[in-house]
């Protein structure tokens, strides 16, 4: 394992500048500035309600669905402002995919789940769809387990399998960035480990941002860890640094479990 | 109290047992040299097994703590530093035995220089333990600075008494004890501040970095 | 331990008793009608168009009932499901929405004979459709719309937010999400609503009384613009209007009416289960 004490800012994939987010009067994110480098795993940690999910959902504009929300500041993906008027949201979400806390397969067949994203993107070629589905399932290590029952309902999968299916479904649309909101919190340790390994592999081709409550998980898989508290970004540093010598007292307190 | 705090405290208690013994044997050495009376030297050998047991116990506790509690940040650094300075403490015990062996071969009078050296080394050990138990980085840094004085003193003793193997060996062993206290101090600086000051060329460099 | 066991036993006994007491009347009724009407059932009774009301085959009303039910569903299901979809997926939950909801609930409470008169006024007379299957189906459609909308709305609402999010996160538009994910997922629930509605359409008398039903017709309706005989109305007619109809004939018709309703239900349930199974959801 390489020891990394500086953030490698060579290639910034996502950049958040002066982001403020309000739910009605609730100032949920305060002047957030963070840069997320390409092909690295960035973890968001912090106590419940500190705004991790809120920030994550800004990154692919999933918050657009919420009424009474106000967002100011700027977020760029590949130097393009995603809150620009001209931005096509569906296009953005294909580029910045998302995996959720609870595995949420559609009540459709395993095949149709993975094919969903590319079909709605307008791909009709059967051959191509078959290939993408197969490759995506292979990528998440699910192919062997389901190749003989692709037409079965995805609801018949175990939690860990279902979550891997959801990841396969996301990578089938070939995003650049994958956002994950506590992707293993509903899973057993073995499935968690499988998914952690998978995330580590994904980083070769994708930029991964993961919210996790499991500090060990952040420590194990992420390159960069950012600590949030009460809507503020307290500290961003290489994971190795955060977990050995955090700069901020609050981070130290949180990481050593002496909070509150 | 948090589980992690409890476990760290338990580790600390064992560590204190260890440092108590280490201080007492270094004190014994110092007193014997000072008073030129070697009657109580047996105590140093008696404590040896005790120290070995405690060394093992500390390592076991530390490993268990790392595996079960997953300490982070300052906790992690503390445990890590304890694992490392644990062997320094044990080696201090060994070096005390070496000094004691050499002393047994000597006849009074003992040179004044050796008495001063023993005094200095004792102070260093006491301070190092103090810095360790209170996680006092400033004190630890002072100890590191003192190491040079000890080195010089030992060098002059070696020169002066090159004909007396016993005195030369005892001085060498005392100097090594001082080296171990430097190691301990370095670990204390790491535990408290998270900076690794080992192998820095100049002392200024070492401490300049920890000024932050 | 023993105490808990005794309590359990008492609890189960009470529940079991209550359960039986709800099912028993239904079974008793069906058995009663079955025993009285079964003797009348034969090929000729079911599949010939009779030349008299008192005896003879009842194929005309059977055919009419199925025809009318089918047309009603053809009209009401798309409108109902689309309305429910609009309410569930497109409107903001504001004042207008609650007004709409309230109206639908109230509509469901209006007596069916009022619908009949409404159908007569609007479809038969005002729109000049005349007494016909179409007018009857439209009337019945209005009658069951609240039911279909309410049940569909509820099953759409029951579609988990997670699935919607998943679809949006994959770059789906709202329309794509509704059509490809939400509606299919809600289908079993919506079908339940349709089942209930089907049974209602086949059994209702009042709404078709003035809009579609013929007292007696010697032939089958040939298009939606024809009047038709209907089982429910036929039963009403032979029980109250015509003299000299044998009990056996009446029970025979009753038996067929119930059977048609049950068969329609059964069919719908089978379809629903098949879809549920395919989706992998268990309702
Ligand atoms: N849709 C919403 N409407 C209103 N307030 C919201 C909404 N979502 C989140 N909030 C509020 O915003 C704050 C941040 O919530 P968020 O979900 O981002 O926290 P989180 O860090 O992800 O917490 P957790 O770790 O529990 O998931 C909280 O105070 C929460 O109550
Ligand atoms: Mg969250």
pLDDT 10s digits, B114-145: 999 999 999 999 999 999 999 999 999 999 99
pTM of the model: 0.79
Q: Residue whose CA is closest, atom 25 of ligand 1?
A: A48
| Model confidence pLDDT, tens digit, residues A121-147 | 999 999 999 999 999 999 888 999 999
Q: Is B135 on the interface with A (CB under 8 A)?
A: no
- Does residue A121's CB lie within 6 angstroms of at least one atom of ligand 1? no
Residue C283 pLDDT class (50, 70, 90 cuts): very low
With 70 as the cut, is the pLDDT of residue C282 above it? Answer: no
Closest residue in chain C to residue A120, using alpha carbons only: C172
- pLDDT band of A154, cuts 50, 70, 90: very high
Counting DSSP H helices and E strands in chain B, the numbers are 7, 0
CB of A52 sitting under 6 A from ligand 1? yes
On average, the pLDDT of chain C sits at 88
Q: What is the CA radius of gyration of chain B?
A: 18
Question: B touches C (3+ CB pairs < 8 Å)?
Answer: no
pLDDT over 80 (residue C138): yes
Could you write out the DSSP letters of every residue in C89-155? IIS-SSHHHHHHHHHHHHHHHS-HHHHHHHHIIIIIIIS---SSHHHHHHHHHHHHHHHHHHHHHHH
Q: What is the pLDDT of residue B122?
A: 96
Site to substitute for ligand 1 among A43, A50, A227, most atoms within 8 A of C-beta: A50
Q: Is A50 in the pocket of ligand 1 (CB under 6 A)?
A: yes
- Please, is A126 exposed, middle or buried when counting C-beta atoms within 10 Å of its C-beta (0-12, 13-18, 19+)? exposed
Strand partners, A233: A228
Among A176-180, B16-20, C123-127, name the one with the lowest average pLDDT.
C123-127
Mean per-residue pLDDT, C196-204 = 87
Q: Mutate which of A248, A249, A253, A255 to test chain B, going by most B C-beta atoms within 10 A?
A: A255
CB C169 within 8 Å of CB C77:
no
Contact assignment for A252 to B70 by CB distance below 8 Å: no
Task: Tell me what pLDDT residue C181 has.
Answer: 94
Q: Is A1 a residue whose pLDDT tops 50?
A: no
What pLDDT, on a 0 to 100 scale, did the predictor assign at position C109? 87
pLDDT at B52: 95
Is there an atom of ligand 1 within 6 Å of A66 CB? Answer: yes
Q: Residue C241 sits in a domain of what CATH number? A: 1.10.3720.10
A101 C-alpha to ligand 1 centroid (Å): 14
Say how many CA atoms lie within 13 Å of A248 toward its Cβ.
15
pLDDT for res A8 = 63
Q: Do A256 and B77 touch (CB under 8 A)?
A: no
Q: Is the pLDDT of residue C219 over 90?
A: no
Whether C109 is covered by a domain: the verdict is yes
Q: Assess contact for B73 and A252: CB atoms under 8 A.
A: yes
Residues of C in contact with A169 (CB under 8 A): 166, 170
Is the confidence at residue A2, as pLDDT, over 70?
no
Of B203 and A90, which is predicted with more confidence? A90
| Residue C26 counted as domain residue | no
- Does residue A23's CB lie within 6 angstroms of at least one atom of ligand 1? yes
C105 lies in some domain: yes
**Which A residues 28-67 touch C at CB under 8 Å?**
60, 62, 65, 67
Domains of chain B by range and CATH? Answer: 3-206 (1.20.58.220)
Our CA-based measurement puts residue B74 at a distance from the nearest CA of chain A, in whole angstroms, of: 7
Q: State the distance from the centre of ligand 2 to the C-alpha of A47, rounded, in angstroms.
A: 9
The distance of B191 to chain A (nearest Cα, Å) reads 9
- C21 falls within a domain: no
Condensed to tens digits (0 to 9), the pLDDT of residues B102-115 reads: 998 888 788 899 99
Query: Over 50: is that where the pLDDT of B26 sits?
Result: yes
| Residue C92: domain span | 41-279
Maximum average pLDDT range among A15-19, B32-36, C251-255? A15-19
Evaluate if residue B211 carries a pLDDT over 50.
no
Q: Work out the mean pLDDT of chain B and round it to a whole number.
A: 90
Look at A140-154, B56-70, B108-122, C218-232 and tell me which has the smallest mean pLDDT.
C218-232
Number of domains in chain C: 1
**Edge-to-edge strands of the sheet including A12-23?**
A26-37, A12-23, A69-77, A80-81
Q: Whole-angstrom Cα distance, residue A242 to residue A253?
A: 11
Taking residues B48-62, what's their average pLDDT?
A: 95
Residue C52 in domain: yes
Mean pLDDT of C163-176: 93
On chain A, the residues whose CB falls within 8 A of the CB of B193 are 245
A234 inside 8 A of chain B by CB: no
- Taking a C-beta distance cutoff of 8 angstroms, is the pair A51, A231 a contact? yes
Which residue's C-alpha comes closest to atom 1 of ligand 1? Answer: A66
- CB pair distance less than 8 Å for B72 and A245: no
Q: Do A244 and B2 touch (CB under 8 A)?
A: no
Identify the residue whose C-alpha is closest to ligand 1 atom 7: A23
Question: Which residue of chain B has the CA closest to A219?
Answer: B72
Q: What percent of chain A has pLDDT over 70?
A: 96
Rounded Cα distance between C150 and C107, Å, is 11
Residue B18: pLDDT over 70: yes
The residue whose CB lies within 8 Å of the most ligand 1 atoms, and thus the one to mutate among A51, A66, A215, is A51
Angle at C267 between CA C27 and CA C20, to 5 degrees: 20
Q: Which ligand approaches the C-alpha of residue A21 most closely?
A: 1
Range with top average pLDDT, B102-111, B193-202, C64-73 = C64-73
* Alpha-carbon span C254 to C48, nearest angstrom: 17
pLDDT at A9 over 70: no
The answer, yes or no, to whether any atom of ligand 1 lies below 6 A from the CB of A26, is yes
pLDDT higher than threshold 90 for residue C224: no
CB–CB contact C162 A100 (8 Å): yes
Share of chain C residues as helix, strand and coil, in percent rounded to the nearest 5: 75, 0, 20
Q: Do B76 and A252 touch (CB under 8 A)?
A: no
Closest residue to atom 28 of ligand 1, CA basis: A49
pLDDT for position B172: 94
Q: Whose CA is nearest to atom 14 of ligand 1?
A: A51
- Assess A166–C contact: CB distance below 8 Å, yes or no: yes
Mutate to test the pocket of ligand 1, among A21, A22, A23, A209 (most ligand atoms within 8 A of CB): A23
ipTM: 0.90
Tell me how many residue pairs between chain A and chain B have CB atoms under 8 A apart. Answer: 32
- Neighbours, chain C (3 or more CB pairs < 8 A): A
pLDDT value at residue B210: 46
In angstroms, rounded to a whole number, what is the distance separating the alpha carbons of residues A155 and A172? 19
Mean pLDDT within C10-26? 92
Residue B198 has pLDDT above 70, yes or no: yes
Instruction: Identify the residue among A256, A258, A259 best suited for mutation to test binding to B, counting B beta carbons within 10 A and taking the highest.
Output: A256
Q: Is B71 on the interface with A (CB under 8 A)?
A: yes
Q: Given CB atoms, is C169 within the 8 Å cutoff of chain A?
A: yes
Per CATH, the architecture of A3-255 is what? Answer: 3-Layer(aba) Sandwich (3.40)
Least confident range of B30-44, C46-60, C73-87: C46-60
């Amino acid at each position: 394992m390489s020891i990394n004490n500086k953030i490698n800012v060579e290639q910034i994939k996502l950049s958040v500048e002066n982001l403020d987010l309000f739910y009605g009067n609730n100032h949920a994110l305060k002047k957030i500035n963070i840069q997320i480098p390409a092909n690295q795993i960035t973890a968001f940690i912090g106590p419940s309600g500190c705004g991790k999910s809120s920030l994550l959902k800004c990154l692919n504009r999933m918050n657009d669905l919420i009424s009474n929300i106000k967002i100011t500041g700027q977020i760029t993906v590949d130097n393009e402002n995603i809150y620009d008027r001209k931005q096509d949201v569906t296009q953005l979400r294909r580029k910045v995919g998302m995996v959720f806390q609870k595995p949420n397969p559609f009540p459709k067949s395993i095949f149709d789940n993975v094919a969903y994203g590319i079909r709605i993107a307008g791909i009709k070629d059967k051959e191509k769809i078959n290939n993408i589905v197969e490759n995506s399932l292979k990528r998440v290590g699910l192919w062997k387990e389901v190749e003989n029952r692709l037409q079965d309902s995805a609801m018949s999968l175990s939690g860990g399998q279902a979550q891997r299916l959801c990841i396969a479904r996301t990578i089938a649309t070939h995003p650049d960035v994958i956002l994950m909101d506590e992707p293993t919190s509903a899973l057993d340790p073995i499935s968690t480990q499988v998914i952690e390994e998978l995330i580590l592999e994904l980083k070769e081709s994708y930029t991964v941002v993961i919210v996790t409550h499991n500090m060990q998980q952040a420590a194990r898989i992420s390159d960069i860890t950012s600590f949030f508290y009460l809507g503020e970004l307290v500290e961003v540093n290489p994971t190795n640094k955060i977990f050995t010598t955090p700069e901020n007292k609050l981070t130290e307190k949180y990481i050593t479990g002496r909070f509150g | 109290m948090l589980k992690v705090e409890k476990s760290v405290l338990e580790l600390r208690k064992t560590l204190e047992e260890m440092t108590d013994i280490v201080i007492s044997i270094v004190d014994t050495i110092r007193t014997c040299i000072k008073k030129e009376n070697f009657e109580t030297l047996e105590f140093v050998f008696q404590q040896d097994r005790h120290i070995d047991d405690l060394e093992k116990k500390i390592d076991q506790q530390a490993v268990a703590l790392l595996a079960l509690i997953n300490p982070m940040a300052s906790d992690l650094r503390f445990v890590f530093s304890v694992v490392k300075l644990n062997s320094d403490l044990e080696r201090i015990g060994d070096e005390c035995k070496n000094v004691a062996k050499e002393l047994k071969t000597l006849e009074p009078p003992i040179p004044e220089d050796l008495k001063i050296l023993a005094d200095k080394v004792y102070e260093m050990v006491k301070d190092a333990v103090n810095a360790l138990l209170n996680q006092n980085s400033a004190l630890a840094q002072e100890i590191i600075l003192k190491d040079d004085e000890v080195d010089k003193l030992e060098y002059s003793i070696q020169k002066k008494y090159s004909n007396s193997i016993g005195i030369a060996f005892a001085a060498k062993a005392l100097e090594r004890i001082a080296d171990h206290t430097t190691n301990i101090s370095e670990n204390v600086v790491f535990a408290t501040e998270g900076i690794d000051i080992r192998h820095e060329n100049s002392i200024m460099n070492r401490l300049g970095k920890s000024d932050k | 331990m023993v105490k808990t066991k005794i309590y359990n036993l008492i609890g189960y006994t009470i529940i079991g008793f209550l359960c039986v007491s709800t099912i028993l009347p239904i079974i008793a009724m069906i058995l009663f009608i079955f025993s009285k009407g079964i003797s009348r059932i034969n090929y000729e009774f079911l599949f010939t168009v009779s030349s008299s009301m008192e005896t003879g085959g009842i194929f005309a009303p059977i055919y009419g009932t199925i025809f009318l039910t089918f047309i009603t569903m053809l009209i009401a299901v798309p409108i109902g499901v689309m309305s429910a979809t609009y309410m569930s997926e497109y409107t903001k939950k504001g004042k207008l929405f609650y007004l709409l909801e309230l109206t639908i609930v109230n509509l469901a409470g209006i007596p069916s004979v009022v619908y009949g008169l409404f159908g007569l006024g609007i479809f038969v007379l005002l729109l000049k459709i005349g007494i016909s299957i179409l007018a009857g189906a439209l009337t019945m459609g209005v009658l069951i719309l609240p039911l279909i909308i309410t049940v569909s709305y509820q099953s759409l609402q029951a579609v988990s937010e997670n699935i919607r999010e998943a679809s949006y996160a994959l770059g789906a538009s709202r329309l794509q999400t509704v059509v490809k994910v939400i509606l299919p997922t809600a289908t079993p629930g919506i079908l339940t609503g349709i089942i209930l509605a089907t049974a209602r359409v086949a059994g209702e008398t009042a709404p078709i009384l003035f809009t579609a039903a013929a007292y007696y017709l010697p032939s089958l309706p040939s298009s939606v613009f024809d009047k038709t005989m209907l089982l429910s109305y036929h039963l009403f007619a032979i029980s109250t209007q015509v003299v000299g109809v044998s009990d056996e004939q009446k029970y025979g018709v009753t038996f067929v009416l119930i059977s048609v309703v049950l068969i329609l239900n059964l069919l719908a349930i089978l379809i629903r289960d098949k879809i549920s199974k395919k989706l992998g959801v268990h309702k």
